[in-house]
Amino acid sequence: MQWLASLLFTVFLFAWTGFYAVMFVVVGPWLPFRARFAMARGWGSVLLAALRLICRLDYRVEGAENIPPGNHIALIKHSSAWETFAQVVLVPAHVWVLKRELMWVPFLGWALRLMRAIAIDRSAGKSAVQSVLEQGRQRLAEGEWIVIFPEGTRMAPGETRRYGVSGALLAAESGRLIVPVAHDAGYYWPRRGLYKKPGTIRVVIGPPIATAGRDPRDINAAAQEWIEAHSRR
């Protein structure tokens, strides 16, 4: 029965996202960014509700009080497809860093452009980091948060890789805070799996990490240590 529920949600995920992307491309150009983000939050909220109703997979958030005023940089553990849409509900109005291939998908890519996403070529090394810095400075100056999956790709539960340094560099340069976000979604919705286990995903938002005057490598190490420790718990 859970397999059937998982399949049904997957069909709904693609259908709802496709419909919303088309609607977004039609309506979005006439709206200011904050209104566009409110639309994106509506898309994510419906998916989270559908996941709860169809697959009995809910979530709870701890540490919401750790989100500071202003706009900063959130680093989120990447282990599932879940956080790719949950982020619009978890983090204040933001843009996110993503692989440029997504921008080539009809309607979805156009919608992502309207959301002012920072698209990078993950194989480009230093030029990808530079792209995040250049576009990130502009987005921060305009009042948006930046959301980054620092591992760059989905990792199985209990696994990680060296975090990309672009978020830490941008934070150190701008004096913004790093807000670490850990979760265990990968245990319920595996990175390459269709099956979604019923249960409650635990999301933990950590205390902001100060960056002013610190070495970006130290900032990155502190963020990775906190996120990985809390994701394992």
Judge whether 209 and 94 are in contact, CB under 8 Å. no
pLDDT at position 124 is: 64
- Block means of pLDDT (10 residues each) for the chain, length 233 residues? 94 96 94 96 98 98 96 96 96 92 89 92 75 92 95 89 92 95 95 91 97 90 95 80
CA distances from residue 46 to 17, 180, 215 in whole angstroms, order as listed: 10, 25, 40
pLDDT at position 123 is: 67
To the nearest 10 degrees (0 to 180), the angle between helices 33-55 and 2-27 is 170
Provide the residue type at 223 as one letter.
A
pLDDT at position 225 is: 96
What is the Cα–Cα distance from 74 to 77, expressed in whole angstroms?
10
What is the Cα–Cα distance from 100 to 105, expressed in whole angstroms?
10
Q: Cα 65 to the chain's mean position, in Å?
A: 19
Q: What structural domains does the chain harbor?
A: 2-232 (3.40.1130)
pLDDT at position 150 is: 93
What is the Cα–Cα distance from 184 to 79, expressed in whole angstroms?
8
pLDDT at position 146 is: 97
Q: State the virtual CA torsion across 52, 87, 185, 182 in degrees, nearest 10.
A: -140
